[in-house]
Amino acid sequence: MPTITSSYQQQVISNPDKIAIQTASEAITYRDWYTVVCKTANWLHLMTAPRDAIGIFMPNSIAFLQLFTGAAMAGRIAATFDAKWKPAELEQRLAISSPSVVITTAELVERIRSKESTIIIWEDALVQILQCDSSWCENVEGEMPFYMGFTSGTTGVPKAFIRSHDSWIASFKCSRHDFHINETDHVLIPGALIHSHFLYGAISVLYLGGTIYLLDKFSPKLSLNFIENYPITMLYVVPTMVEAMLLEDIIIDKPIQIISSGAKWEVDSKQKIQEQFLHIKMFEFYGASELSFVSFLCNDSDKDKLGSVGKPFHNVEIQIRHTHLHETSVREVGTIFVRSPMLFDGYIHPESRSIHSIKDDKGWITVDDMGYLDEDGYLYIVGREKNMILYGGVNVFPEEIETVLLKHPDVEVAAVVGMTDPYWGQIPVAVIKGHASKKALKKLCMENLSSHKIPRKWFFVEEIPHTTSGKIARMLVEQLIETEVIKN
């Protein structure tokens, strides 16, 4: 069975001098890329055991991708760690993943307090890697795990999830079949590789033989400059990046495809970006760390369905079920269940280190997102069950309220959470970043929402906390509200 690196050798044969990865300061051809990945695999083979977790605590770089793919080629599991995490958050994830070795930089090494793993500075590792053999006889099976990530933790402690080669190979087929990505594409990856949306974007393009352009960190101006000055055909984003690029006075007058995920891309933002990118094709997809691709929407073919998250990918089945597991009717809200060859293996049990699957006996998985299917098979997301506010016994989804609030031009970010109330049980509370007035926002809500969905309390703040993947960190928002209540 193929693995996520098994196409590299063929790419060396067919196009050895083609650029595989380009950054602002360096580039590497497919010939050299295959060589360094093989050397890295041999290095890890010598110093670690099969299926060991290999910690990668590195900034965005060719080196990050080299370590990730080298670990995969060697039959190890790459565990990625974010430099934005607080020391306690990093230690928590190190404890869960238990890597045998962690590769990091001289700048980041002081943040690692754990004594359980061997810590190696990248510059020292590179000296050893370059001395290793450049040939590799691949003996890794497709069902083997290769990637350990962490759910973004919008409401609490994140979980470690495991993905197999097979699951990403099936996802690569979606990239080719549904997004039409191939070896001719030049793809800009402007976000952090710790975020699986951007990591997948990079690894999938390398598998398919295209060229990726990697930024050290996201900058809207630099992203647009790359698009202007390089033959970029495609761009991976999350919606907050789109909003940042809209603030730049740069018009892109060449064909480009945008692939967005991570949070709902609001209709207003989709319309505005078409004024900046004059020849744009937009793909928005719904998925999750556990599910991979689920559904996608394209502005070319789905113009009447922009409020949805699209139709299922070609190899995905979707069911909407009641709590008692019977399927719902058309446009009836229920829990979204997914079945596909792209599903994750399971969560890492923090004590036994075993993989705990959440598939049912027929291969279906849910992450407790709520939604419905329309008469044409398009999926609509209503919200997450765990985010739901129970107001006087009535279910209120904060995502629906946030969508309305974001229609106001002076609202930059809106977050709605539930606050305990002695009479109603919970009440919806809005936290706003922007310059809109409470009066204007209440009026907007009254025009668009039922009375029980209108926020009962309002807080205006300078910043709203987000997770690494760009989602609202609801637990931190709740803590922010508590702080504001105590202050006032």
Give pLDDT tens digits for 347-367. Answer: 997 666 778 888 999 999 999
Among residues of the chain, what percentage have pLDDT more than 90?
A: 72
**Are 343 and 413 within one domain?**
no
**Are 279 and 420 within one domain?**
no
**Are 160 and 298 within one domain?**
yes
What is the domain count for the chain?
A: 2
Q: Give the list of residues 6+ apart from residue 228 with CB closer than 8 angstroms, or none.
A: 250, 252
Biggest CA–CA distance in the chain, Å, is: 71
Of the pLDDT bands very low, low, confident and very high (cuts 50, 70, 90), residue 297 is very high
**Are 395 and 368 within one domain?**
no
- 478 is a domain residue: yes
Which tokens in the block code for residue 185?
């594409």
pLDDT of 156 = 55
Last residue of a domain, one of 373, 405, 437: 373
Per residue in 165-187, pLDDT (tens digit) is 999 999 999 999 999 999 999 99
What global pTM score does this model have?
0.86
pLDDT of 324 = 67
- 227 is a domain residue: yes
Of the pLDDT bands very low, low, confident and very high (cuts 50, 70, 90), residue 485 is low
If DSSP codes are grouped into helix, strand and coil, which group holds residue 11?
Answer: helix
Of the pLDDT bands very low, low, confident and very high (cuts 50, 70, 90), residue 131 is very high
pLDDT of 293 = 97
Out of 65-69, 418-422, 452-456, least confident range: 418-422
CA distance 418 to 389: 5
The answer, yes or no, to whether residue 487 has pLDDT greater than 80, is: no
How much is the average pLDDT of 198-217?
98
How much is the average pLDDT of 69-88?
93
Q: Give the list of residues 6+ apart from residue 126 with CB closer than 8 angstroms, or none.
A: 63
pLDDT of 152 = 59
Among residues of the chain, what percentage have pLDDT more than 70?
A: 96
CATH number for position 159: 3.40.50.12780
Mean pLDDT value across the chain: 92
Query: Burial, 220: exposed, middle or buried (Cβ in 10 Å; 0-12, 13-18, 19+)?
Result: middle
Contact 261, 309 (CB under 8 A): no
**Are 394 and 369 within one domain?**
no
**Are 348 and 245 within one domain?**
yes
The answer, yes or no, to whether residue 155 has pLDDT greater than 70, is: no
Last residue of a domain, one of 338, 373, 408: 373
Q: Among 466, 143, 155, 164, which residue's Cα sits nearest to residue 290?
A: 164
CATH number for position 429: 3.30.300.30
* 444-to-259, 306, 375 alpha-carbon distances in Å: 30, 21, 29
Contact 430, 413 (CB under 8 A): no
**Are 366 and 396 within one domain?**
no
pLDDT of 317 = 98
Of the pLDDT bands very low, low, confident and very high (cuts 50, 70, 90), residue 488 is low
- 323 is a domain residue: yes
* Element spanning 148, H or E: strand 145-150
Contact 45, 202 (CB under 8 A): no
Of the pLDDT bands very low, low, confident and very high (cuts 50, 70, 90), residue 211 is very high
- 380 is a domain residue: no
**262 vs 314, higher pLDDT:** 314
**Are 169 and 300 within one domain?**
yes
The winner for highest mean pLDDT among 56-65, 153-162, 322-331 is 56-65
Strands (E), 184-342: 186-189, 211-214, 234-237, 252-260, 277-288, 292-298, 311-312, 317-321, 334-339
Q: Which range of residues forms the domain containing residue 177? A: 8-373
The answer, yes or no, to whether residue 153 has pLDDT greater than 70, is: no
pLDDT of 186 = 99
pLDDT of 136 = 83
The winner for highest mean pLDDT among 28-37, 244-253, 416-425 is 28-37
Of the pLDDT bands very low, low, confident and very high (cuts 50, 70, 90), residue 240 is confident
How much is the average pLDDT of 295-300?
92
pLDDT of 390 = 83
pLDDT of 113 = 85
Last residue of a domain, one of 311, 341, 373: 373
- 382 is a domain residue: no
**Are 325 and 443 within one domain?**
no
Out of 50-54, 265-269, 311-315, least confident range: 265-269
**Are 208 and 243 within one domain?**
yes
- 268 is a domain residue: yes
pLDDT of 424 = 86
**Are 418 and 369 within one domain?**
no
- 474 is a domain residue: yes
- 333 is a domain residue: yes
Per residue in 323-351, pLDDT (tens digit) is 768 899 999 999 999 999 999 999 997 66
Evaluated on CA atoms 80, 236, 203, 67, the torsion sign reads: negative
**Are 186 and 257 within one domain?**
yes
Which tokens in the block code for residue 374?
């329309």
The answer, yes or no, to whether residue 382 has pLDDT greater than 80, is: yes
